[in-house]
């Protein structure tokens, strides 16, 4: 068999400026929200279900305080953590709102993130699962397209976890509870909203862990460059 | 030390977080308080805090902050069932007043079962009763120049007496009452006897206990350290505690 010359690396423009900008703003905001949120949690490290919940009530979760190297600030300061949290809450919430509206307008959501029925078929899911185990993340026919697990992770984070963590956080504010009582009621009360807020934060951390792992497996330099410059090198796919 | 990628990542992240410490007191971060107040007031200036049914109350309403003021003056009042206690109403008002507990109890009353939200994260639901603050302010004749109502308390905290303050939107809010009863009984010492503020759309540290005076002012600058309340002065808590 004749051996052709090695293919020139093919670069495609994968991430638009809005996507890249939001990605990094959001990454910073999320890290600060988690760090300052854990410090706020440290002030009363017990979680309850329902409208009320304090020391004499049953807590479904009680944790030791989070250590200083994961909290913002690193020393105990509920007031300081609240300043961080409420500043970056605005960045997180309005950043997401602008990004989602923009991505709807420029077609990003419908073109790249829309989940098609055939992608959810068991045969497709199984094939994609086996591809993941073999570290094949891209369809050689259409390398720009996200695979189904990627779509599910991004859609779940963009439309469930991030809105969920923002809305459950809003439901904790007594001023918001008065202005929008339906919001706190939707979560089943303020203490339930506080539990949901914590669980959603945990789920976002799981997403982050999987996301970073896959960036490392898929080639961190190429992936990082694509999220900074927008340009992504199509990897030479291993043959199945 | 071997510098692995993992060490670099973990160390880098921890370094970043610790590096945050020096920005904690930045006025830029603190400015978010004003943004939240503006947003909340924009969507619900006159909105009412959620009220609950009697069976939704907390079985035990925990005591927080001062458990007993334990000053000589307070102990004398408490010894006589607060018969000699007076609430001084002053500052920028046309008619300064001194009100007895009986007078406050005979004004038109409001009872409300509301949720008390502590800044630390816990909540307790209880029934509060007392006259609306608006009734008292109207009786005293608030000066048009007054912008804030300051609440002076009998308990010592830090350098002086505990104090708090609210703006006139919250002062004239229908659920803002001076409560003398919790769950149909007169306030006990732990919960702020004989009288405490309930400003239901804000956090627990605004709910000043052991009231001895309310003062109408045009500015918070001359009071305490000028930030509008004991916790605001001592620890940098937000003055607007609707968040």
pLDDT in tens, chain B (243 residues): 455 555 555 555 555 666 788 899 899 999 999 999 999 999 998 999 999 999 999 999 999 999 999 999 999 999 999 999 999 999 999 999 999 999 999 999 999 999 999 999 999 999 999 999 999 999 999 999 999 999 999 999 877 899 999 999 999 999 999 999 999 999 999 999 999 999 999 999 999 999 999 999 999 999 999 999 999 999 999 999 999
**What is the nearest CA distance from A58 to chain B, expressed in angstroms?**
11
> How near does any CA of chain B get to the CA of A133, in Å?
23
- Cβ B62 vs Cβ B182: under 8 Å: no
Contact A57 B44 (CB under 8 A): no
| Rounded distance between C-alpha atoms, residue A131 and residue A151, angstroms | 15
Using the 8-state DSSP alphabet, how is residue A15 labeled?
S
Residues of chain B contacting A194 with CB distance shorter than 8 Å: 121
DSSP A112: I
Instruction: Identify the pLDDT of residue B21.
Output: 87
B177 neighbors B118 (Cβ within 8 angstroms): no
Say what the pLDDT of residue B144 is. 97
Mutation for testing the A interface, residue in B120, B122, B198 having most A CBs under 10 Å: B122
> Which residues are bridge partners to B142 per DSSP?
B93
Whether A70 sits inside 8 A of B17 (CB atoms) is: yes
B37 to chain A: which residues are within 8 Å by CB? 175
DSSP A138: S
Q: Which residue of A has its CA nearest to B51?
A: A178
Are residues B237 and A82, on separate chains, in Cβ contact within 8 Å? yes
Range of the domain at A81: 11-233
Q: Which of A29, A34, A36, A54 to mutate to test the interface with B (most CBs of B within 10 A)?
A: A54
A238 in a domain, yes or no? no
Question: For A74, phi and psi rounded to 5 degrees?
Answer: -75, -25
> pLDDT category, A240, cuts 50, 70, 90?
very low
Peptide bond into A215 cis (omega under 30): no
- Residue A226 included in any domain: yes
CA–CA min distance B111, chain A (Å)? 17
Report, as an integer, the average pLDDT of A178-198.
Answer: 97
Take residue A9 and report the two structure tokens written for it.
């690396």
pLDDT at residue A235, rounded to an integer = 83
Search chain B and give the residue with CA nearest A31. B17
Say how many domains are in chain A: 1
pLDDT at position B209 is 98
Chain centre distance of CA B95 = 25
pLDDT given for residue B195 in this prediction: 98
Report residue A36 as tokens: 């300052």
Residues of B in contact with A54 (CB under 8 A): 58, 60, 62, 118, 122-124
To which CATH superfamily is domain B50-235 assigned? Answer: Oxidoreductase, molybdopterin-binding domain (3.90.420.10)
Please give the Cα distance from A22 to A100 (Å, whole number): 10
**Are B198 and B177 spatial neighbours (Cβ–Cβ below 8 Å)?**
yes
Predicted confidence band at A2 (pLDDT cuts at 50, 70, 90)?
Answer: very low
Taking a C-beta distance cutoff of 8 angstroms, is the pair B111, B57 a contact? no
Mean pLDDT score, A54-78: 96
CA–CA separation, B232 and B206 (whole Å) = 10
pLDDT at A1: 43
Backbone angles phi, psi at A49, to 5 degrees: -110, 145
% of chain A beyond a pLDDT of 90: 87
**DSSP letter at B151?**
E
Average pLDDT score over residue span A68-93: 96
Please indicate whether residue A151 or residue A1 has the higher confidence score (pLDDT): A151
ipTM: 0.91
The pLDDT value given to residue A138: 85
Label the pairing between strands B211-217 and B87-91.
Answer: parallel
How far A112 CA lies from chain B's nearest CA (Å)?
Answer: 30
- CATH number of the domain that A174 lies in? 1.20.950.20
């Amino acid at each position: 068999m004749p051996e052709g010359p090695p293919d020139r690396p093919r670069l495609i423009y994968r991430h638009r400026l809005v996507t890249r900008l939001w990605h990094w703003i959001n990454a910073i905001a999320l890290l600060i929200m988690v760090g300052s949120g854990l410090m706020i949690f440290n002030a009363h490290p017990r979680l309850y279900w329902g409208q009320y919940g304090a020391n004499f009530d049953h807590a479904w979760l009680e944790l030791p305080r989070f250590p200083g190297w994961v909290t913002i600030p690193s020393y105990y300061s509920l007031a300081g953590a609240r300043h961080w949290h409420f500043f970056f809450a605005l960045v997180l919430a309005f950043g997401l709102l602008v990004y989602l509206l923009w991505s709807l307008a420029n077609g990003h959501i419908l073109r790249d993130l829309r989940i098609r029925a055939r992608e959810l078929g068991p045969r497709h899911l199984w094939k994609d699962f086996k591809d993941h185990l073999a570290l094949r993340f891209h369809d050689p026919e259409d390398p720009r397209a996200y695979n189904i697990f990627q779509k599910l992770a991004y859609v779940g984070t963009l439309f469930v976890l991030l809105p969920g963590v923002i809305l459950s956080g809003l439901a904790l504010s007594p001023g918001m509870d008065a202005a929008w009582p339906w919001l706190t009621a939707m979560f089943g009360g303020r203490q339930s909203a506080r539990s949901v807020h914590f669980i959603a934060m945990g789920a976002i951390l799981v997403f982050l862990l999987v996301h970073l792992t896959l960036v490392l497996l898929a080639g961190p330099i190429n992936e990082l460059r694509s999220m900074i410059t927008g340009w992504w090198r199509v990897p030479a796919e291993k043959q199945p | 030390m071997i510098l692995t990628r993992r060490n670099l990542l973990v160390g880098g992240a921890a370094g970043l977080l610790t590096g945050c410490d020096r920005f904690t007191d930045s006025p830029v971060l603190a400015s978010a308080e004003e943004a939240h107040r503006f947003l909340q007031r924009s969507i619900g200036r006159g909105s009412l805090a959620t009220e609950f049914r009697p069976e939704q109350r907390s079985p035990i309403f925990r005591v927080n902050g001062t458990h007993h003021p334990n000053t000589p003056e307070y102990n004398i009042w408490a010894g006589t069932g607060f018969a000699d206690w007076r609430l001084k109403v002053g500052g920028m008002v046309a008619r300064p007043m001194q009100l007895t507990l009986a007078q406050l109890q005979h004004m038109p009353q409001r009872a409300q079962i509301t949720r008390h939200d502590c800044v630390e994260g816990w909540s307790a639901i209880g029934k509060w009763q007392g006259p609306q603050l608006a009734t008292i302010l109207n009786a005293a004749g608030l000066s048009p120049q007054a912008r804030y109502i300051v609440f002076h308390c009998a308990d010592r905290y830090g350098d002086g007496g505990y104090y708090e303050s609210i703006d006139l939107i919250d002062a004239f809010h229908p659920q803002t009452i001076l409560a003398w009863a919790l769950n149909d009984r007169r306030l006990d010492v732990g919960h702020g006897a004989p009288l405490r503020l309930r400003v239901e759309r804000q956090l627990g540290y605004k709910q000043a206990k052991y009231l001895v005076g309310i003062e109408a002012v045009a500015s918070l600058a001359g009071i305490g350290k000028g930030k509008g309340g004991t916790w605001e002065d001592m620890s940098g808590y937000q003055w607007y505690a609707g968040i």
